[in-house]
Structure 1
Amino acid sequence: MKPHTVRAIVTLFLLFVLQAFTVRDCLRNKNKSFNQERMPSRIEGAELAPLHKVAAKGQVEAVEVILQRIDNFTEGNKAIFLNSVSGGTTALGKAIKEGSESIVQLLIRQPQIDVNKTGGVDALPALLLALKCKQPEIAKTLLKECSTTLNS
């Protein structure tokens, strides 16, 4: 197997393990590095990924902790993590549905975020989702901050 293939497989596995961490563990150990943390003993089946959970609940501090944790990821892995779909939408979509402008701002400041990413066939990109969910302030934020990347 070629080295870049092995590296890709290992990277995807590590992303999967990272997604398996619970939000509680992230918050409890927010000052520790990943090397010091306890690996999860089991992986939850159909639950939302941690970033999606906290975005859906409007937990700004937890989103900040998770974003700090991914600082050491490569640019490509950050993009995969930030734009992953869980529960039918992205973390950005969850924050928009929740109406959490502060989380939306945190996420769109990440250069790897794809504001046009949808969660499936019937899903909407960020701007259209904000309009559908009657979140005019978030729609304005998206227009102001992401005007060069919006495809709505």
Structure 2
Amino acid sequence: MKDKIQQEIREQFGEKLRVRVCGICIEEEKILLVHHRSLGKNGSLWAPPGGGMHFGEDAKSALKREFKEETGCNIDVEEFLFVHEYLDPPLHGVELFFKVKIVSGTLTLGSDPEMSPDSQLLTEIGFFDLTTLQKQDLMSLHYVLQNTKSLSGLINQKGYFKFH
């Protein structure tokens, strides 16, 4: 099963540059993260909700669509934060991070319509405080979270980053 998922990831997303949008949603000093199996250095990746933009789609619309697909929630996109270049072969993405706020919906683990039903990557969703995240294997956290000292520091970052 793992080899099948890896092959599908490579076919769908691999060895091409993708533009992605990611939403940082913080409520009560906790950040919303989605767990992906078969991604990351150790086959496990916690990351803010988001995904690839479609041709002709603007960034805010793409983020609203991706957030709804992965979390079941509708959002307001509040502000652009920073750009991160994600490189973990075979994946390579330029990620646009935005601060977002949930405005409606019920938090529910969604799915990735680009992956087949038996190869879904999303396995868990939830809000996490930094203390909990710092107890995780750092390699299972998205690069932008690995050295985060505070959630306010995360949303106050500005610029272009390549954290690896």
TM-score (ref. length: structure 2): 0.29
Q: Which has the higher helix share?
A: 1
| TM-score between both structures, scaled by the size of structure 1 | 0.31
Task: State the structure with bigger RCO (CA 8 A, min sep 6), 1 or 2.
Answer: 2
Whichever of the two has the greater Rg, that structure is 1
More strand by share: 2
